[in-house]
Chains A and B, each alone.
Chain A
Amino acid sequence: EPEVTQTPSHQVTQMGQEVILRCVPISNHLYFYWYRQILGQKVEFLVSFYNNEISEKSEIFDDQFSVERPDGSNFTLKIRSTKLEDSAMYFCASGQKETQYFGPGTRLLVL
C-alpha cells in the first residue's frame, strides 16, 4: 500500500539557519498539507496546497515559511530563519479530497 514518506526523520539546526523538510506524497493525490506538533501539544495545521498553489494557511504560517512542489513528486516545507519555538514534529499529509494520509514526520530541533 502506498505511503507518504518524509526526510529526514530528525533534523537539528542552529537558530537562524534555514531548513528544508521534504515529503513525497502518495502519487495520485492532489492535495498536500503540512502540520506540526510541538511536544505535548495538539497537531496544528500549517498549510494546504492544491493545483500548485497554497489553498489555505494558518496564522502560524508566516513569511518565514514557504512550500514548494518543485518536480511533481516532492513537496517541501522551508523555514527561512529558524527560531527556538519552531522545534516540533512536522507532518506532511496528502489526500484526494476529504481524507488525509500522513507521513511519519520529521522531528526538528532548533538550538
Chain B
Amino acid sequence: AQRVTQPEKLLSVFKGAPVELKCNYSYSGSPELFWYVQYSRQRLQLLLRHISRESIKGFTADLNKGETSFHLKKPFAQEEDSAMYYCALNTGFQKLVFGTGTRLLVSP
C-alpha cells in the first residue's frame, strides 16, 4: 500500500532554531517525493522535489531509501516559515498521496 506518514501534527520552535519535519513513506516501487507548503489562507505551493536535490528558502530534504524517509530540514528557522507542510508521494500513476501534514510554528 502507498502511504505517507508525518508523525508530528505540530512542531513549535523558536526563531533561529534548527527544524526537522519528518516524513516516512511506504511504497514498493521507485518513489518520487515532494514537500508542499501552505501558508495561511494560501494555496498549496511546491517547496521541494527530491529529484531536483535543490535548496529552497533554506530548506533541504534528502531521500533515504533505506529508512524510507524524506525529512525536511532547515538549519535556522524564520518566523515566515510558519505554515502547514505536507509531504507527498507520486507513485507514477498520476496521483499524489499526501501525509496528514505538520504545522510548523516559529516563535520570535
> Hey, which bits of chain A sit against chain B, CB under 8 A?
3-4, 31, 33, 35, 41-45, 48, 50, 55-56, 58, 91, 98-105
Contact = CB atoms under 8 A, between A and B. Distances in A.
B34 A99 contact: yes
Contact of A100 (B51, B93, B96, B100): B96
Interface string B86-108: 10101011111111110000000
A48 to B, nearest CB: 4
A99 B46 contact: yes
Interface stretch (B17-25, B37-45, B66-74): B37-45
Given A42-B99, A98-B32, A48 B94 contact: yes
Contacts, number: 51
Nearest to B32: A98
Q: Determine chain A's interface SS by DSSP, over half rule.
A: strand
A43 B98 contact: yes
Contact of B45 (A33, A56, A102): A102
Q: How large is the interface on B (under 10, 10 to 19, 20 to 34, 35 or more residues)?
A: 20 to 34
A99 B93 CA distance: 12
A109 to B, nearest CB: 17
Contacts of A56: 93-95
Contacts of A4: 43
Contacts of A55: 94
Nearest 10 A-B pairs (CB), nearest first?
Answer: A48-B94, A102-B44, A45-B95, A43-B98, A104-B43, A42-B100, A42-B98, A55-B94, A56-B94, A102-B43
Contacts of B86: 42-43
A53 B60 CA distance: 36
Identify the interface centre among A33, A56, A91, A98: most chain B CB within 10 Å of its CB.
A98
A9 to B, nearest CB: 11
Nearest to B41: A104
A35 to B, nearest CB: 8
A58 B34 CA distance: 20
B95 A33 contact: yes
